[in-house]
Each structure stands twice: as C-alpha cells, then as structure tokens.
Amino acid sequence: MVEHAMIDYYELLRVSPEASKLDIINAYRRAKLTFRKDSLAVYSLYSEEELTLVRHQVDKAYAVLSDREKRQTYDVQQGYVSSAGFEDSAWLDEDELKAEYEASEEVSAAAQKIADNVVTLHPRKARDYDPDLERRLQTAEEFPGVLLREVREYRGISLQDIAQQTRISMGYLKAIEVEDHSALPAKAYLKGYVGQYAAEIGLEPHRVVQGYPPLSGE
C-alpha cells in the first residue's frame, strides 16, 4: 500500500503547485465527480474499495490544499517553497472566494462531515413504493412545483443531482419547485428547464410542461 506521505496532493488533483485556490476547488470538484460511486470514467479500472481509498486521498488533499496554513506547511515540507519566501499571490481575495463558495452548493452544503472543509456527497435515498402517488401521477393533469418536488424526493433524487445532469442552476431549480415567479427565467427558457427537470425525475416532459402552472397561465 502506498503511504500517504508519498502521494503528491498537487499531482493527485492534477493542479500545479502554483494553482490558485479557485483552481484547487475546481480540481477537487472534478476529482469528486470522477471518482464518485458508479462513475463511468473509472469503469473496469478500479474496484469499489479502491475508489473509496482514492476518494479518501482526494478529500485529504483538498483538506490540506484548501487550508492556507496547512498548504503553506505542506509546500515547505515537500520543498515546493522555501520556508523563507512564501509566495502569497496564489490566494484570492476573501470576498471572491466567498462568492465562489456560494456558487457551488455542493461544496458548502455538506462540507462538515470528515474534516471541516471536506465534502461528502449525499447518498440517494429512495422512498418506499407509494401506489397512491404513482396512481396520481398516471392521471395528473396539473404538475405544480410541490408535486414535482414530491416526485423528486420520492425517487430519491437530489436537486444537486439534477443540477449536475442538466446544468440548470440551483437557483432556477429551486424557483421551479416553489413557483417563485420573480426568480423564474423567461417563459421560453422555463419551458425547456421544466422539461429537462421532468425528464430527470422520470416524468414525461411534455405533460409536465403543459401542466406546470406558471407556464399555462395567461
């Protein structure tokens, strides 16, 4: 087994030792996506246990590289920087960073599990089979946001999953579920978004688009 001290965190995340904090966040998200459970990109190469190990290493790398002090110590340890002249330019303005954090829900949301700045992704939990809801879906003509949300939760799909699959922003997805007219996009876009959302939760897009109240009004 490879010792942890031997793993180069920069190499693991595929970033250069001069990478900015933003680069590291992006690289970390990519790594999490790449080595997630059921990831297509590792198919046939890694077993489940190996994947868990890799994810663990990735988390560890991020825990160090995303923390200013820990990274500094690490750089000195690994000989990337001499302890005397630590180059500060890689660090972004705190405000910019904050904005970036807020933009990436999955990073900020579940950040507290392993260490205080490491992410674990939510496992899906599907609810038990619900014949009543299934029957309602068969006949439903109206698909208000609350129903969409109910179906989504019933299927055990998180909003993040949908955002990841469809590249629709979390803001819009949330607005679709609460039918927040002020936050919804223009109708032409909304139509497409609602359709994609519906497809993700296993409903027929055209039925949902037709039955979604903010689209049918006026």
Partner 1 sequence: MKVGNTLAQPKAETARPRIWAIGGGKGGVGKSFISASMGVALAKAGKRVVVVDLDLGGANLHTSLGISGSRYTLSDYLNGKVNDINKVAEQTGIERLRLINGAADSLSIANIQYFQKAKLLRNLPKIEADYVILDLGAGTSFNTLDFFIEADHGLVSVTPDPGSVENTYRFLKCVLIRRLRTIPKKARETMQQVLTQRRGGGKNAGSLADFVEEMARLKPSVAGSLRSELDAMKLHIIVNQVMEPSDTELGRSMQMVCSRYFGTQIGYLGFLHYDRLVLKALQQRRPFLSTFPQSRLAIHVDTMVASLMAQDDT
Nearer to partner 1, 15 or 147 (CB): 15
For the chain, counts of helices (H) and of strands (E)? 13, 0
Q: Taking CB under 8 A as the rule, does residue 72 contact partner 1?
A: no
With CB under 8 A as the contact rule, the residue among 30, 60, 70, 207 that binds partner 1 is 30
The residue among 58, 79, 77 whose CA lies nearest residue 11 is 58
Q: Taking CB under 8 A as the rule, does residue 166 contact partner 1?
A: yes
The structure tokens 């250069």 sit at: 16
With CB under 8 A as the contact rule, the residue among 78, 112, 165, 216 that binds partner 1 is 165
In Å, what is the CA distance from 174 to each residue of 74, 107, 146, 179, 211? Answer: 40, 17, 11, 8, 18
In Å, what is the CA distance from 193 to each residue of 1, 104, 149? Answer: 47, 19, 14
Please identify, among the stretches 28-36, 97-105, 107-115, 139-147, the one whose residues bind partner 1 according to the rule CB under 8 A: 28-36
> In the complex, what is the shortest distance from the CB of residue 170 to partner 1, in angstroms, rounded to a whole number?
15
Count of C-beta atoms within a 10 Å radius of residue 16: 11
Nearer to partner 1, 46 or 91 (CB): 46
| 134 token code pair | 């299934």
The distance from CA 163 to its chain's CA centroid, rounded to whole angstroms, is 8
Q: Taking CB under 8 A as the rule, does residue 167 contact partner 1?
A: yes
**What distance in Å separates the CA atoms of residue 32 and residue 61, rounded to the nearest whole number?**
12
The residue among 158, 156, 186, 153 whose CA lies nearest residue 172 is 186
Enumerate residues 145-164 that contact partner 1 by CB under 8 A. 164
Q: Taking CB under 8 A as the rule, does residue 89 contact partner 1?
A: no
Nearer to partner 1, 33 or 99 (CB): 33
> In the complex, what is the shortest distance from the CB of residue 201 to partner 1, in angstroms, rounded to a whole number?
15
Enumerate residues 3-22 that contact partner 1 by CB under 8 A. 12, 14
Binding site for partner 1 (CB under 8 A): 2, 12, 14, 30-31, 33-34, 39-47, 54, 164-167
